[in-house]
Amino acid sequence: MTLADTHVHPPENPESTDPRLPLHGLVVLDLTTFLSGPYCTQILADLGAEVIKLEPLTGDSSRGIPPHFIGDDSAYYLGNNRNKTSVALNLKSSEGLEIALGLAARADVVVENFRPGVASKLGLDCDALRAERPGLIWASISGFGQSGPWRDRLAYDMIVQALSGVMSLTGHPEQPSARLGIPAGDLAAGMFAAIGVLAAVASRAVTGVGRTIDVSMLDGQLSMLSYQAVYALLTGTAPGPQSSRHDSIPTYRSFTGGDGRELVVTANTERMWAGLCDVLGVPELVADERFRDARSRLTHRDELWPLLEQAFLARDAAEWVDLLTAGQVPAALIKTVPEALADAGDAGRGMLVDLADEAGHRVRTMATPITFVGDRPRRHTYPPRLGQDTEEVLGRFLGISGSRVAELREAGILIAEPLAHDARGRTAGE
């Protein structure tokens, strides 16, 4: 009998036990690396799942991304791997594969973002595992999906932004296309995978049977084209770069104040249009036949914009924001990232998470933006060091003794820190 033959649910990890959280008791084996997969599993971990991050002996490749490091790990890695444990194995060895199969057999969910077919080649086959455990949920994230003509192509965030048309919409007219400032291809794929996992967990509660989830980064970007896709399909024409404007609403765009700072205005109703004109001191525009309704304003936008742009030069951008907000016209300054983060800290919504470990490392990360009303803020653990939890996890899940872990460590099968020196970090201040 192999390690994967036993289906005894392991004892809970007291570090991750929090019965208030909705995914409490769900065990996720995380075979992912870099961003799309770790972002998915961090969402699940934040919601209470026990996430075991199974890494190669070289670690998740994102641990080494420059330029910022805290200890041995990059800020990039630290931003996407809190509330997890780390087990480091050589999956190309028979012993390492056997351990991985044992962990998969005891997990509720497996998430991987290998290229299609790689997990099976490594010996981690979804169908074989589900034959032994029908309730297993398997989520695959890849660039182009598990089927289709492009399934074997390499993909990264900017590749799918380019192929989906998203980059053609980003930037300014007559200028080269621009990549979105955030890795939307990776992040959207991670969110869609998390949604798929949650749906599969709900389905399994009724049927007892797991699901296989196939999430394509390209599909995710295509889905997020939203109304732009409908416009293109309807007209047969390509929408151009959106700049900081809207294809349908000419008063939904950015403007520059007299101090040179930018603000955005989203006056997308007739009341807001009238309010905008009143605050700017150009009430005569409301009665102008060219701008009498939304269609007219869109038709004559090239005549309207210079009038509004000139009016905005009369005051500083922040002053306009205050006046427009008081007039019930949505407006905001375009903030830098540090300014936005400072605002987030002041807002008291818990969007900034301070983490610390017992080695003195500290990092501030962004929270998962899901709040359960009435719950206390959850306790978060610092992202794990490579192999930090190997001995604890293998002992608890598979009954492997510390002496056997030491033998496997000496043989180069795994990386493990002795339990006596293992100390998980928590949310700073707890």
In whole angstroms, give the CA distance from residue 244 to residue 254: 6
Residue 3: per-residue pLDDT: 32
Q: Where are the beta strands (DSSP E) in 252-318?
A: 252-256, 262-266
CB 187 within 8 A of CB 205: no
Collapse the DSSP code of 354 into the 3-class scheme (helix H, G, I; strand E, B; otherwise coil) and give the result. Answer: strand
Rounded to the nearest 5 percent, the helix, strand and coil shares of the chain are 40, 15, 45
The two tokens of residue 52 are 């075991």
CATH number of 252-333: 3.30.1540.10
In whole angstroms, give the CA distance from residue 63 to residue 226: 34
Q: What percent of the chain has pLDDT over 70?
A: 93
C-alpha torsion sign, points 392, 395, 401, 406: negative
Place 375 in a pLDDT band, splitting at 50, 70 and 90.
Answer: confident
Per-chain mean pLDDT for the chain:
94
Task: Check pLDDT > 60 for residue 104.
Answer: yes
Residue 418: per-residue pLDDT: 77
Residue 5: per-residue pLDDT: 34
Annotation says 9 is catalytic = no
- Mode of pairing for the β-strands spanning 252-256 and 27-30: unpaired
CA dihedral 51, 55, 59, 61 (to 10 degrees): -80
What is the tally of helices (H) and strands (E) in the chain?
18, 15
For the chain, the straight-line distance linking the first and the last C-alpha, in angstroms and rounded, comes to: 44
Task: Check pLDDT > 90 for residue 425.
Answer: no
Residue 13: per-residue pLDDT: 64
Read off the pLDDT of residues 66-84 as tens digits, 9 standing for 90 and up. 999 999 999 999 999 999 9
Read off the pLDDT of residues 246-291 as tens digits, 9 standing for 90 and up. 999 999 999 999 999 999 999 999 999 999 999 999 999 999 999 9
The model's pTM is 0.93
Nearest to 155 by CA among 167, 169, 145: 145
The whole-number average pLDDT for the span 313-322 is: 98
Q: How far is CA 116 from CA 6, 112, 222, in A?
A: 28, 10, 20
Q: Outline which parts of the chain fall under CATH 3.40.50.10540.
A: 3-223+353-427
* CATH architecture, domain defined by 3-223+353-427: 3-Layer(aba) Sandwich (3.40)
Catalytic option among 246, 300, 361, 380: 246
Give the CB-side neighbour count of residue 41, counting CA atoms within 13 A: 35
CB 387 within 8 A of CB 88: yes
Read off the pLDDT of residues 152-204 as tens digits, 9 standing for 90 and up. 999 999 999 999 999 999 999 999 999 999 999 999 999 999 999 999 999 99
Phi-psi region of 34 (alpha: psi -120 to 50; beta: other; left: phi over 0): left
Task: Check pLDDT > 70 for residue 26.
Answer: yes
In whole angstroms, give the CA distance from residue 405 to residue 106: 19
Read off the pLDDT of residues 208-248 as tens digits, 9 standing for 90 and up. 999 999 999 999 999 999 999 999 999 999 999 999 999 99
- Name the phi and psi angles at 34, rounded to 5: 75, -100
